[in-house]
Each structure stands twice: as structure tokens, then as C-alpha cells.
Amino acid sequence: MGLIEIEGMDFFAYHGCFKEERVIGTRFTVDAWLTTDTSAAEASDELKHTVNYQAVYALIRHEMEQHSHLLEHVASRIIDALYRDFTTLTHVRIKVSKLNPALAHGGKIRQVSVMLER
């Protein structure tokens, strides 16, 4: 088994519970940890025998473009899509972080994150 880590994917998206967040948007980062059997790729040195991180990025970008209120919903959709499109995955962990989230009563938070795994 192998673990493929894709860290620091940056997106501008419109997720949030506040109307302003869904209009103005903000920056997000996504990290993915994908467990899969890498033995064929180890032996062949062929991209077709592993999980292509560029295809993973494209899938995650597509999911980030779909508006949601909650980061939990976004992360869950990403996991569902990864399992749908990459059948060799045996375990997936996704972390979605909203950078500089809006606060109802002022204040400042660098980021808030949700991590889900299945």
C-alpha cells in the first residue's frame, strides 16, 4: 500500500453560512491523503498504474466550484467523488480550510478547517 499526499491546493470559492461569503467569496486550501495499492506503479514506472494527482486536483477543483454552506458538506462531496472516480482507493482523508473566515462579532481567525476520512 502507498499513501499519496497532495497538500496546499489553493482555491477561491463561495462556501459559507453568511450571505456575504457566498457573494464575495474567500480563499480555501484543500489537503488530500489517498491510500492505494502502488505496487504496479512501483514496478512499471507508468502513470496509468497509480492515482494521477493532476486528475485528483481537477476533481477537487470541480467540487470546490459547487457552492455549499458547510465545510463538512464540501469535504464529504470530495470524498464521494474521489471514491467514484478512483476505484483503487482504499482510504481517503480530506482537509478543507477556509482562510480568514468572517466572524459575526469581529475578531480574527487565520483559518478554520474540517477533516473527514473514510
pTM of the model: 0.94
For residue 103, give every residue at least 6 positions away whose Cβ sits within 8 Å of its Cβ, in sequence order, or none: 109
pLDDT at residue 66, rounded to an integer: 96
Is residue 96 within 8 A of residue 108, CB to CB? The reply is no
pLDDT at residue 101, rounded to an integer: 87
In the three-class reduction of DSSP (H, G, I as helix; E, B as strand; rest coil), residue 14 is classed as: coil
pLDDT tens, residue order, the chain (118 aa): 999 999 999 999 999 888 888 888 999 999 999 999 999 999 999 999 999 999 999 999 999 999 999 999 999 999 999 999 999 999 999 999 999 887 778 788 999 999 999 9
Active site residues: 98
Q: Which domains does the chain have, with CATH numbers?
A: 2-117 (3.30.1130.10)
The Cα angle at residue 110 between residues 16 and 114, in degrees rounded to 5: 50
